[in-house]
Amino acid sequence: MTEQLGDEPVVVTRADAVATIWLNRPDKRNAMTYEMWSALADACERLARDRTVRVLVVRGSGGHFCAGADISGFADGMSADYQLRNREAEEALAAFPRPTIAHITGSCVGGGVQIAGACDLRFADTTARFGITPARLGIAYPSFALERAVRLIGPSAAKHLLFSAELIDVDRALRIGLIDEVAEPDAAIERLETFALLLATERSLLSQTIAKEMINEVASSGAVSAATIERWAPVLADNPDMAEGVAAFGERRSPRFVWVPDESS
């Protein structure tokens, strides 16, 4: 696939309802520049508006996910504009309204952990290595990225990574909850493709959309708000997916769900 991506540092490909955003700077292990953060934010926002996209995957080309920020651009410090675009990219990915999966190979460090952490799920192969390394440079990890990391892996594991700047393997990453699944490289690709297709074609987008919004609310505030429950109640009361799901279960066939979000969903 890498040789087909061209020279753009961020590339979007499609396989039916599954879109993939590729970080495509393999000679630098996909280290992120300002332009790449901008392109990542723009791609997420554009794909979020495309209601034919059911699942979003984020991958890195050339055997690595992302080695973090391109440090060569920080000779004069990290500008406010860079920090703003960095945050916009993370938030655009985290706010994507449908399921997102990071497929992680090789290096996943610093900004790479930030990107992966903004996805709903993180699948890795056995080549992956993870780290959050500002302590090697005498800088601070962005506060918004730190908050997400703490919510994902807890205070102790976050302190371990940030204090030490050590790289950890997939076994430890799985144990602390940084990743959800791990497999050998070929099996990991097969699992990613099978799982993404399952979400896109055999599961209710309505159920997924509601679950994502409510789980994110619980993670951020501890509960699902009454406003969210009230907003979804009429949609649930008049949705075609429940009847189809029940019928498919009774007939022992795969369901053909049809609900799609309107402009307000």
Look up the pTM and report it.
0.94
pLDDT exceeds cutoff 90 at 79: no
Please, what CATH class does the domain formed by 2-200 belong to? Answer: alpha beta
In b/e form, how buried is each residue of 92-121, taking b as 16+ CB within 10 angstroms? bbbebbbbbbbbbbbbbbbbbbbbbbbbbb
**CA–CA separation, 188 and 54 (whole Å):** 20
**83-112, pLDDT tens digit by residue?**
899 999 999 999 999 999 999 999 999 999
pLDDT exceeds cutoff 90 at 3: no
**142-164, pLDDT tens digit by residue?**
999 999 999 999 999 999 999 99
Residue range(s) in the chain whose domain bears CATH number 3.90.226.10: 2-200
> 227 CB contacts (<8 Å, ≥6 apart)?
none
Mean pLDDT of 33-59: 97
Task: From residue 4, give the alpha-carbon distance in Å to each of 8, 62, 209, 248.
Answer: 11, 12, 32, 39
Mean pLDDT of 252-265: 83
Burial tier of 171 (Cβ tally within 10 Å: 0-12, 13-18, 19+): exposed
Q: Are 178 and 153 within 8 A, CB to CB?
A: yes
Mean pLDDT of 252-258: 93
pLDDT band at 224 (very low <50, low <70, confident <90, very high): very high
pLDDT of residue 77: 58
pLDDT band at 71 (very low <50, low <70, confident <90, very high): confident
In the 3-class helix/strand/coil scheme, how is the chain assigned residue by residue?
A: CHHHCCCCCEEEEEECCEEEEEECCHHHCCCECHHHHHHHHHHHHHHHHCCCCCEEEEEECCCCCECCECHHHHCCCCCHHHHHHHHHHHHHHHCCCCCEEEEECCEEECHHHHHHHHCCEEEEECCCEEECCHHHCCCCCCHHHHHHHHHHHCHHHHHHHHHHCCCECHHHHHHHCCCCEEECHHHHHHHHHHHHHHHHHCCCHHHHHHHHHHHHHHHHHCCCCHHHHHHHHHHHHCCCHHHHHHHHHHHCCCCCCCCCCCCCC
**11-45, pLDDT tens digit by residue?**
999 999 999 999 999 999 999 999 999 999 999 99
**CA–CA separation, 177 and 100 (whole Å):** 17
**CA–CA separation, 49 and 252 (whole Å):** 34
pLDDT exceeds cutoff 60 at 265: no
* Residue corresponding to tokens 């799920």: 121
Q: Closest Cα partner for 228 from 214, 211, 243?
A: 214
